Structure 1
Amino acid sequence: LGFLHFLHIGLNIVLSVLIKRNGMTLKEHPFLPSSAMVVSVEVLSESRTWEEALEYCRVHHDDLASVASETEMLLNQRELPKHNTTEHIWIGLRFLSRDWLWMDRQVMDYEAWGEGENPGVRTPR
């Protein structure tokens, strides 16, 4: 475990998850349910800020990855070792106004914080 750490400064990997159903990505079909299956993980080995990563993913795909279930966490953990990643990656989770929010507007029902992580406090590293 340990691939999906939340909001670290100075990361150099961007994770974009393409959601597909019937051959369409969310860009093409914006009303897919959140239960659509994760079928592709794209990892870019480029140094970008979180905002730059979000913009890149929104322009080229759909959004930074949301990890809204244990199944999605396990799928990402299975795929990431295939991509020569560093330990930390950007995902679509943001701490705003005392709340954690997924940028794709999914409800944050699933939490899997790393050991020693405090989900109520945003601490830059």
Structure 2
Amino acid sequence: MRACAFVMFGLLCSSYAHAREVPLERHQQGSWETDIGYTGVVRDGDTLHVSGVPCRGADMQAAVRDCYGKLTKILQQFDADSSQVVKETVFTTDMDGLIKAIPERKTFFVDGKYPAASWVQISRLFDAEAKLEVEWTVHLK
């Protein structure tokens, strides 16, 4: 039994070591990221972590179009599409407005392949004029 545990531990350790052979890739989306101290997109093997993308617009529907348009461009940089988004977190200052904009948001997801999601209303975003901010986790094929 102990030999099995050592063998399993060795396999786990070697798998972890192999996984770390692929370095993280950091992709900045703008010069402001360095000023603030974050990276817009971090690639960890087959996973993209997309930092919150702030969105503006005259109303929530315009802000949703702005946001998901920016997110689609990020996906295109990695030859990906919205069907590969596995987790979405949306922060908004106006949940009622976001709920009304659900039909607009849904148009950005291919064939109704929606991600796991959390929507949170907050009092303010870093960009005080933004109506929402969306972050994604994406599985690359």
What is the TM-score normalised by the length of structure 2? 0.28
Larger % of strand: which? 2
Specify the structure having the higher radius of gyration (Cα): 2
What is the TM-score normalised by the length of structure 1? 0.30
Larger % of helix: which? 2
